[in-house]
A and B are shown apart, each in its own frame.
Chain A
């Protein structure tokens, strides 16, 4: 593949040399050329287009655990050298600096990887327009109560190149396609809105008739569901997390607290628990960058580590945290391929990819039958965690009340609160029905958003607070 960036290897070597001129032990250049094209349907018309171009380079210097970072949107040598000079200045401050005058490897003979054998095709604007009109018609045919349909198809194509002072280099093409459908329904003066989405790391091949119908049906079902749903009085109760979207539990309850920058800083509630038994031996949890097509899939992470499958919890024991280069160096372990960034404008941080729990033995029916009174949480909108205390929340948009082992009435709009380590210990049953959730799921941390996904079999948590 021809590099889309206007630099020769010797140019980049010169920039790296400047970046390391003040005492850094490692430097990398992250070049990015991204285009995002989106069309939106509203009121039966495809009358709005949105396109974005992101083009630039981020230059990072590590000096011990300190980071110097600068980016430029001007891909010329003077601008690149200016950014490198600023990033290099981290070497002037405090610790680090043990590798001054570090010899640079010759880029021409260093490791090089290029994912060039995959062709990515985007849909033409006309094709997207037809798909959106098709969605509008399909939705209205599904339910006469629909008064508004809004849909958009977003096609993102990111080309990145990374070159670092270890002599490693890769170029990768990362397509991402996202379909959103919003439905508004009215019935007897009551208005409700349903929403569904799909996001995959692939191009036009994501947008099949089957996928379109699934997403539209989900959005319509979710809007209709809300007419008959209500809330219950708040308090502590048993919670069954449905397979698939229930993976938000892992993301919020333990995922962020396993990101090794929080471990290195000592702030995570799990900081002292490596190697310890933290939950039932029936539980194994993985963070995986190798699942093709998944939103969290990474051939290489954003600092050049190959995409890996990392076992976080093995048979109830805390096995590994999620590392970038900084935390890996601190703990003297190998990076786990979790160094991710939103764009060239951001330095990498340890982030999740696709986080899921392996299946257990119980059936979903067995789990529900075991509950005297509790809730089955099925559809979620958002969540967050307080890293220090480990207190997490996620918002249940849709679920059901369970009474005497049976699903009874529909529930909506309840916030669920728990504490990460405690909730993990309180998981008493794990289903055999692992499912992955491919809704558009963006994870925010440190002002950066990256796509993630999650998976979960049905699980029973003895006690969480709902309200």
Chain B
């Protein structure tokens, strides 16, 4: 990113905003460099490069709030864009709760030390990236006669953003991530196809694993051959770490200020109360150097901090931004999670599986939804029926049903296998007496 040029563009936009008579505004100028590579079997299928610069403008005019986004940064176009944005905002009804954050909450540090950006990424040539994707895919080609297709995707992104807020905030941040993933499709004896994948994400190119991704994907696809439903009933459910976040997502959504104010949150009256078993212990820690999601300030410019979200089963935080803090008459916190850590145990996944005589290991969710007002959910799952920790049958065509609050109350086990390179570090989790609907 040309930091000076982009800083000047944002400052020019701020001057235009103020020239149009608007005194309160937030401007974010974002720049992304992205490469995508897709290798299918022996061939390079797709090579893609993208460079984008865009400007987000958030205006506050006498309690009226407008969000505006453009990537047309030609000076004339930007002036017209700002003028129209101010006009559109002026037409709204005043809502005195819509204000910028209190400047005393803004981050005031130097922005250094997070160590979450690969400054060398732009120097890596497309040939090196293609070579990594090809080498990865080649690791499974010809390994098993049941392989129909092996596809490896490489993608990287170098992101930077400059934020300027009219009541006294200026901040610059940058980050990077690189993802390498393989999807393998195999054929069973009966001609049915089974597909599964595996992926790894890192902050730096040099940390990308050169082995393992594709073989794990192949092994995961092969073990699905012969999937069939289990009989309906209540089972212990063990949810594998890579997909455990899907179960937690409705809880995090229900902690959002807008959901609470709009009465569409099943956690609305539960702050400070017990909403899960004592194993439900989660912190958001955005200040750990070298981790994804690490940041010193949020979208509002507000300084981030370590927060306990669930303290041994007790709900301790709502995600409240300034407008919804005003509407709810609650102290604002932050808008969401940055680097979430679910407290692990000292058990491996296999040890956790062995704790239960019969259980179902859920390795993926297949559709389903959760009602935000009641917390009732129904999800399709696939995975494996376990007996004393050993796989006895691959499972698909089965739903789980329940209620979020009852589910988290039934949390009985936690493993230690969360991927440290994710923004949400959630280990495999075990729940007692979950209703499975199959045959």
* A65 and B40 alpha carbons, distance in the complex (Å): 11
Cβ contact within 8 Å between B44 and A386: no
**Among the listed A45, A49, A86, A384, which residue makes an inter-chain contact with B67, where contact means beta carbons less than 8 Å apart?**
A49
**Among the listed B65, B232, B439, which residue makes an inter-chain contact with A48, where contact means beta carbons less than 8 Å apart?**
B65
* A95 and B148 alpha carbons, distance in the complex (Å): 20
Chain B residues with Cβ below 8 Å from A413 are: 369, 371, 376-378
Say which one of A231-239, A330-338, A367-375 lies at the interface with B. A231-239
Residue of B nearest to A93 (CB): B44
Chain B residues with Cβ below 8 Å from A347 are: 46, 48
* CB within 8 Å of A: which B98-138 residues: 98, 126, 130
* A234 and B232 alpha carbons, distance in the complex (Å): 7
Known contacts: A45-B93, A48-B92, A466-B437. The answer to whether A382 contacts B373 by CB under 8 A is no
Cβ contact within 8 Å between B380 and A393: yes
CB distance from B355 to the nearest CB of A (A): 26
* CB within 8 Å of A: which B373-401 residues: 373-374, 376-380, 382, 396-401
Say which one of B187-195, B272-280, B309-317 lies at the interface with A. B187-195
Cβ contact within 8 Å between B399 and A417: yes
Chain A CB within 8 A of B49 CB: yes
* A68 and B232 alpha carbons, distance in the complex (Å): 49
**Proximity string of chain A (370-388) to chain B, C-beta cutoff 8 Å, 1 when within and 0 when not:** 0000000000011110111
Chain A CB within 8 A of B63 CB: yes
Chain B residues with Cβ below 8 Å from A267 are: 148-149, 185, 193, 195
Chain A CB within 8 A of B436 CB: yes
* A383 and B368 alpha carbons, distance in the complex (Å): 7
**Among the listed B42, B44, B84, B194, which residue makes an inter-chain contact with A90, where contact means beta carbons less than 8 Å apart?**
B44
**Proximity string of chain A (50-73) to chain B, C-beta cutoff 8 Å, 1 when within and 0 when not:** 111111100000000111111111
Chain B residues with Cβ below 8 Å from A384 are: 366-367
Q: Interface size of A by Cβ–Cβ distance < 8 Å? A: 79
Chain A residues with Cβ below 8 Å from B366 are: 384, 386, 391, 393, 417
Known contacts: A47-B98, A93-B44, A391-B366. The answer to whether A467 contacts B85 by CB under 8 A is no
**Among the listed A54, A193, A382, which residue makes an inter-chain contact with B369, where contact means beta carbons less than 8 Å apart?**
A382
**Proximity string of chain B (39-70) to chain A, C-beta cutoff 8 Å, 1 when within and 0 when not:** 01011111111111110000000011111111
* A72 and B32 alpha carbons, distance in the complex (Å): 12
* A347 and B36 alpha carbons, distance in the complex (Å): 12
Chain B CB within 8 A of A46 CB: yes
Cβ contact within 8 Å between A70 and B378: no
Chain B residues with Cβ below 8 Å from A275 are: none
**Among the listed B43, B52, B69, B92, which residue makes an inter-chain contact with A66, where contact means beta carbons less than 8 Å apart?**
B43
Chain A CB within 8 A of B71 CB: yes
Chain A residues with Cβ below 8 Å from B229 are: 465
CB distance from B256 to the nearest CB of A (A): 14
Chain B residues with Cβ below 8 Å from A48 are: 65-67, 92, 98
Cβ contact within 8 Å between B232 and A233: yes
* A415 and B371 alpha carbons, distance in the complex (Å): 12
Chain B CB within 8 A of A140 CB: no
Residue of A nearest to B53 (CB): A73
Chain B CB within 8 A of A77 CB: no
**Among the listed A70, A184, A389, A393, which residue makes an inter-chain contact with B227, where contact means beta carbons less than 8 Å apart?**
A389
Residue of B nearest to A388 (CB): B195
Chain B residues with Cβ below 8 Å from A39 are: 92
Chain B CB within 8 A of A395 CB: yes
Residue of A nearest to B148 (CB): A266
Chain B residues with Cβ below 8 Å from A53 are: 69-72, 77, 81
* CB within 8 Å of B: which A1-55 residues: 37, 39, 42-43, 45-55
Which of B71, B85, B369, B438 has the most chain A CB atoms inside 10 A of its CB?
B369
Chain A CB within 8 A of B264 CB: yes
Cβ contact within 8 Å between A47 and B367: no
**Among the listed B65, B72, B373, which residue makes an inter-chain contact with A47, where contact means beta carbons less than 8 Å apart?**
B65
* CB within 8 Å of B: which A244-278 residues: 265-269
* A408 and B91 alpha carbons, distance in the complex (Å): 49
CB distance from A33 to the nearest CB of B (A): 8
Grouping DSSP codes into helix (H, G, I), strand (E, B) and loop, the B interface class, with mixed when no group exceeds half, is strand
**Among the listed B48, B91, B367, B438, which residue makes an inter-chain contact with A395, where contact means beta carbons less than 8 Å apart?**
B367
**Among the listed A381, A382, A415, which residue makes an inter-chain contact with B399, where contact means beta carbons less than 8 Å apart?**
A415
Cβ contact within 8 Å between A415 and B43: no
* A95 and B39 alpha carbons, distance in the complex (Å): 12
Chain A residues with Cβ below 8 Å from B224 are: 389
Chain A CB within 8 A of B435 CB: yes
**Among the listed B40, B42, B67, B437, which residue makes an inter-chain contact with A234, where contact means beta carbons less than 8 Å apart?**
B437
* A147 and B65 alpha carbons, distance in the complex (Å): 23
* A72 and B49 alpha carbons, distance in the complex (Å): 10
Cβ contact within 8 Å between B192 and A51: no
* A387 and B192 alpha carbons, distance in the complex (Å): 11
Known contacts: A191-B263, A395-B368, A395-B378. The answer to whether A45 contacts B149 by CB under 8 A is no
Cβ contact within 8 Å between B380 and A415: yes
Residue of A nearest to B377 (CB): A413
Which of B54, B185, B372, B436 has the most chain A CB atoms inside 10 A of its CB?
B185
Residue of B nearest to A395 (CB): B369
Cβ contact within 8 Å between B92 and A46: yes
Residue of A nearest to B95 (CB): A47
Chain B CB within 8 A of A148 CB: yes
Cβ contact within 8 Å between A51 and B264: no
CB distance from B364 to the nearest CB of A (A): 8
Chain A residues with Cβ below 8 Å from B374 are: 191-192
Cβ contact within 8 Å between A265 and B40: yes
Chain A CB within 8 A of B262 CB: yes
Chain A CB within 8 A of B94 CB: yes
Chain A residues with Cβ below 8 Å from B126 are: 89
Chain B CB within 8 A of A125 CB: yes
Chain B CB within 8 A of A394 CB: yes
**Proximity string of chain A (160-183) to chain B, C-beta cutoff 8 Å, 1 when within and 0 when not:** 000000000000000000000000
* CB within 8 Å of A: which B330-374 residues: 366-369, 371-374
* A387 and B435 alpha carbons, distance in the complex (Å): 27
Cβ contact within 8 Å between B399 and A467: yes
Chain B CB within 8 A of A299 CB: no
Residue of B nearest to A384 (CB): B367
Cβ contact within 8 Å between A419 and B397: yes
Chain B residues with Cβ below 8 Å from A383 are: 367
* A48 and B136 alpha carbons, distance in the complex (Å): 48
* A265 and B185 alpha carbons, distance in the complex (Å): 10
Chain A CB within 8 A of B89 CB: yes
* A228 and B224 alpha carbons, distance in the complex (Å): 40
CB distance from A436 to the nearest CB of B (A): 23
Chain A CB within 8 A of B248 CB: no
Cβ contact within 8 Å between A93 and B47: yes
Chain A CB within 8 A of B88 CB: yes
Cβ contact within 8 Å between A193 and B367: no
Chain A residues with Cβ below 8 Å from B400 are: 467
**Among the listed B67, B81, B93, B438, which residue makes an inter-chain contact with A465, where contact means beta carbons less than 8 Å apart?**
B438
Chain B CB within 8 A of A200 CB: no
Residue of B nearest to A237 (CB): B437
**Proximity string of chain B (16-38) to chain A, C-beta cutoff 8 Å, 1 when within and 0 when not:** 00000000000000000000000
Pairs A–B under 8 Å by Cβ, sample size 28: A49-B66, A49-B91, A56-B71, A65-B43, A66-B43, A66-B44, A73-B52, A90-B44, A93-B47, A94-B44, A148-B264, A193-B373, A231-B376, A234-B436, A235-B438, A266-B148, A267-B195, A269-B193, A389-B396, A392-B367, A393-B366, A393-B368, A413-B376, A414-B399, A415-B379, A417-B380, A465-B437, A467-B399
* Beyond known contacts A389-B396, A393-B380: 18 more, CB 8 A cutoff: A45-B94, A47-B63, A66-B45, A67-B46, A71-B50, A73-B54, A150-B262, A186-B263, A191-B374, A266-B148, A267-B148, A267-B185, A382-B367, A387-B195, A395-B367, A395-B368, A415-B369, A417-B366
Binding site for B on A (CB under 8 A): 37, 39, 42-43, 45-56, 65-73, 83, 86, 89-90, 93-95, 125-126, 129, 147-148, 150, 184, 186, 191-193, 231, 233-236, 265-269, 345, 347, 381-384, 386-395, 397, 412-415, 417, 419, 465-467
The 6 A-B pairs at the shortest CB distance, nearest first, are namely A234-B437, A467-B399, A393-B367, A467-B437, A388-B195, A47-B95
